[in-house]
A and B are shown apart, each in its own frame.
Chain A
Amino acid sequence: MIAAILTRLLQGVGVLLVVGLLAFAVSTRLGDPVNNMLGPEATNAEREAMREQLGLDRPFLVQYGRYLGRVLHGKLGVSYRLGIPVGELLAERLPASVELSGVAMLLTLLLGVPLGMYAAIRRRSWATRVVLGASLAGLSVPTFLIGLLLIFLFAVHLRWLPSSGRGEVVALGPWTTGLLTPSGLRALILPSVTLALYSLALMLRLVRGELLDVLQSEHVRFARARGLPERAVNFRHGFRNALLPVVTVAALQLGNLLAFSVVTETVFQWPGMGLLFLQAVQFVDVPVISSYLLLAAVAFVLINFLVDVSYRLLDPRIRSAAGGS
């Protein structure tokens, strides 16, 4: 068990090193930093001096090592577009993204799991049909369209909710939160619903599918034959065994929420990291792009690692077996 976890950890570090190499290559090999800093009038001697000062005359691997050292100290470079250190930029934008994705994840779990269970247990009821139909639509209507339609209905037409921004935020140390003010909470409603719909639909259909499978299995039929109450059969024997894939997908959805927050943050002009990344891509703001890439890689590797560990903890069958992705 511990050996398997260590292997996974090492693999994760390996992936991070490769992504780091990519980020490094992007941030240094694209364009000539010496030209960017000195301008075209500089003499060759000045260029050489600058090159030496920046360590650009060293071998590639030495430069990569130094880059990793800087990154680990939180020195991610300075944004071309805004002239602010990338570390500060990300720290400033992080709370907005985390709160948005967190609330969306909460909606996904609190609505998706019960609805999915309902749809599996009451297989033929009309409410199940409605829920399944709606979830299919939720998977098919693009996120940005849902966001725009919600804005049009609730912000432009009815004027109930704000269409953009975070509302009023309160600073708690370095963290800014919109969860403590009425305007901040109101501003959170439309973006979080928009972001949650896709993963909600996915979660619901997954829970239903898994539970349907489990409910047809031998041990559940046996529990039913023993005359156990329906509730005990569904929850203790059914749901518990359907939980494993649900945990996996929930964790992986967290990564997807991160990706889709780019879209949602754009639609609602939500001042988070996704919007920052999009603007960086449009302006070719290389330090921001490579830093976001690194941060996303860390997040995904971490998520995958946790999924793997939780898998081993939840399912005794995997504990002894080797690997299994």
Chain B
Amino acid sequence: MRLGLLDGTRRGTRIALGVVLAYVLLAAGARWVAPQPVQDLRTLDLMNSSLPPAWSPEGNRAFPLGTDEQGRDVLSGALFGLRLSMGVGFAAVALAMILGVSAGLLAGYRGGWLDAVLMRAADAQLTFPAILVAMLLDGLARSVLPRSVHETLGVPVVVGAIALAQWVPFARAARVGTLVEREKGYVQAAQVMARPGWAILLGHVLPNVLGPVVVIATIGLGNAILTEATLSFLGVGIPPTSPSLGTLVRTGSAYLPSGAWWMVVFPGLALAGLVLAVNVAGDGLRDGLDPKQRGAVS
């Protein structure tokens, strides 16, 4: 299947996609790229704590971007944090996409009360910002689950919360697409041939509504990564035992007043660069698909 997504996209979009790809490779290869295996606590040495980046007078060549208060290499920490942040972002968007597209396909194809219920739910969902939804779910999970279980379930809870906050645009796009496709000859031909509903939906309708879904997924990925980072920064997301980029900024921010800017700035820049690249790519992909919307956001 060829979506022709890159046709007519601008150079900026291609560069952004390249940057995203580079991020993916860096995150996937964190274990081999990172100078220090920061997950192994035995490699940490308190003698190396709070070192500034290598280019400043007190810096150490072994730690190019400095170290945190426990002597952890900031570059390595950021690489592993990036892996977690991107993992959570991709997982959350994938889940939101599955939930949303299924709901949209069903609502559009079946119509009737199912459509009404699902779309009212979508309206209600849209009134609540993602961060509040995610914080509430996390609060609920905290109050229901014992502490140790909550720590191990931290990542799934965050993924679920972000997905729940993001399924609506997918559902709307899939529903509108389905409403259009449903009336077309090939779907009606399949219906006449008495193919089962699920087969028509998955085999015929789904591939034809995927174009906008891909664009929403790209834009949603930037939002998901931002939401995860914000939750982790607030201390209600990923448990601190496996720090994501947001957690790194959170722990580093305690040392900001004493002038240790590198613990905050480098993980923060990695995060901002990633979201920027994803947003530019998403914007460009949408323009490629829908030239009318050029320049608007969301």
Contact = CB atoms under 8 A, between A and B. Distances in A.
A234 interface: no
Interface string A196-229: 0000001001101110110000000000000000
A281 B131 CA distance: 13
Given A30-B144, A281-B236, A301-B127, A143 B230 contact: yes
A208 B268 contact: no
User: Would you list the 4 A-B pairs with minimal beta carbon distance, nearest first?
Assistant: A209-B296, A259-B129, A140-B276, A281-B139
Interface in B255-284: 256-257, 259, 261, 264-265, 268, 271-272, 275-276, 279-280
Contacts of A296: 128, 132
Given A31-B143, A142-B229, A148-B256, A278 B236 contact: yes
Interface in A232-278: 255-256, 258-260, 262-263, 266-267, 277-278
Given A205-B296, A205-B297, A142 B233 contact: yes
B279 A142 contact: no
A212 B261 CA distance: 41
A145 B280 contact: no
Contacts of A26: 140, 143
B138 interface: yes
Contacts of A18: 124
B268 A137 contact: no
Q: How large is the interface on A (under 10, 10 to 19, 20 to 34, 35 or more residues)?
A: 35 or more
Interface residues of B, number: 49
B259 A156 contact: yes
Nearest to B128: A300
26 contacts: A31-B143, A136-B276, A136-B279, A136-B280, A139-B297, A140-B222, A141-B268, A142-B246, A144-B233, A145-B249, A156-B257, A209-B295, A209-B297, A255-B127, A259-B129, A260-B131, A262-B135, A266-B233, A278-B135, A278-B234, A278-B236, A280-B139, A281-B135, A282-B235, A289-B139, A297-B128
A38 interface: no
**Best-surrounded residue of B119, B129, B142 (most CB of chain A within 10 A):** B129
> Interface majority SS on B: helix, strand, loop or mixed?
helix
Contact of A262 (B234, B246, B253, B257): B234
A284 B139 contact: yes
Interface of A: 11, 15, 18, 26, 30-31, 132, 136-137, 139-145, 148-149, 151-152, 156, 163, 202, 205-206, 208-210, 212-213, 255-256, 258-260, 262-263, 266-267, 277-278, 280-282, 284, 286, 289, 293, 296-297, 300-301, 303-304, 325
B168 to A, nearest CB: 11
Contacts of A151: 256
